[in-house]
Structure 1
Amino acid sequence: MRRAAAGFTLLELLLATALLAAALALAFATVRAAGATIERGEALAARNERMRAVSMFLRQRIGGAQGMVFELDSATGQARRFQGDARRMRFVSDLPDYLGRGGPHLHDLTVTDASLQVDFRMVMGGQTVAEPRARPPEPLADGLRRVEFAYRGPGKDGMPGEWRAEWEDVQALPLQVRVRIADAAGPWPELVVGLPIAASYGVGSGR
């Protein structure tokens, strides 16, 4: 007489189910951790690329400041070649070809509540020209926590002077401009830009 084949006991089935559930949970946690790592890596890469692009734009545009007159002060009659404070900076530099026809344009860099933007206006004969199709301000970066401009002219004995939050000598260009930016992830690398052509326009002290 043949004996019936022995099956699994209820305890064995419960144990196998528990082991399977643990293995699935471990696999899910591993996949989720890998996904989070990829997302963090992509976010870091995107942030680094944004910092690189914005810094390159600012370095090229500020470093290429031409010292051209873009307007006359209505109160004093002084010719304005450079104007800047902690949240706004204005100067003339060539417009990049990829943004238009090129040529000297007033660059108006402005800090809003959470962004940095630039406005372009063509300059001719010492004043800005109203264009038929004026472009709106271009956003350079948004989602920012802090943006600060500072300026430095010559100090005593030919040494660089102190950094100042306002450039008062509108007829001259500063020797250097400093830009500090921070977003939710922290501060960006500090950007210090030299203005090679500053000496040609009677470098001021900013005082």
Structure 2
Amino acid sequence: MNARRARGFTLIEVILATVLLASGLALAFASLRAASATATRGEQIAHRDERMRAVSNFLRRRLSSARSIAFALDAASGQQLRFSGDGEQMRFVADLPDYLGRGGPYVHTLHVVRNGDSSERIEVDLAMALGGQTIAESPPRPPDVLVDGLGNVRFRYRGMNADGQLGGWSDTWDTPEALPLQVSIDLADKNGRAWPGLIIALQLAGSEGGGNGLGAPDRL
């Protein structure tokens, strides 16, 4: 036995030990990479969910608090404009909180802008509403980017039809002297993943002399 110990390890034993050690290290590094990838993926999902919540909350709060206040006058018809909208832009008046340093009614303009990489973003312009007019800031303030990196944006509107029933969704709001009853906003990332749909009820639709949204088209 003493003679065998003196000989030490054989070449086969050394190779076998090296292979086992390498296999163990490879398994450990693979587990570490998998854990790191899982953590990174979790952070990306959490960031995406947080962004969706923030954007959805902003849109819901601003639109649900829209007021039937005129922000312009249609030169052709003489009607006061209280809400305008199509598939990529909408304008309405809502109060801004005092803590933003801009308290009072402001015209909100949400519009879709296409980036050079074929993605889209939503920008927000704010201007004071006073005496049925939109008062631009001086010096002008650039629009704020609400959300970027979108692949699809769609705004739709819904009001009462001529029979007094809730009409279908339309890509344009054809009764600008009144607020729609509901606004639908569909968003998707540039990779095609859809965001949870938003259907927002305008709480003050039909109040403050703005009409009741009659005449909105029934196109689906």
TM category (shorter chain) comes to: over 0.9
Classify the secondary structure of the residue corresponding to 1:105. strand
Larger CA deviation: 127-136 vs 111-120:
127-136
> 1:172 pairs with 165, 171, 178, which one?
178
What does residue 79 of structure 2 align with? 78
**Structure 1: gaps spanning 5 or more residues:** none
TM-score normalised by structure 2 residue count: 0.88
CA contact (8 A) 1:166 1:206 kept: no
The 3-state SS of whatever aligns with 1:155 is coil
* Alignment check: 8 A CA contact 1:85 1:165 kept: yes
- 1:33-58 CA distance string (max 9 Å, x none): 00111111111111111111111111
What is the aligned partner in structure 1 of residue 117 from structure 2?
none
Percentage identity across aligned positions? Answer: 53
Root-mean-square deviation over aligned CA pairs: 1.6
TM (norm. structure 1) is 0.93
CA contact (8 A) 2:159 2:167 kept: yes
Could you tell me which residue of structure 2 aligns to residue 198 of structure 1? 205
- 1:73-98 superposed Cα distances (whole Å, 9 cap, x missing partner): 23332211000000000000012334
Q: Does residue 1:138 correspond to 2:144, yes or no?
A: yes
Matching residue's letter, 2:155: F
Give the Å deviation of 1:134.
3.1
How many Å separate the matches in 2 of 1:49 and 1:77? 44
Aligned to 1:55: 56
Check 1:78–1:155 CA distance in 2 against 1; reply closer, same or farther (3 A cut).
closer
Distance 1:178 1:99 in 2: 26
What displacement does 1:157 show? 4.9
Q: Distance in 2 between matches of 1:156 and 1:131?
A: 39
Alignment length (residue pairs): 206
- Alpha-carbon distance, 1:101 to partner: 2.1
Select which of 141, 154, 159 maps to 1:153: 159
Contact 2:68 2:206 in 1 (8 A): no
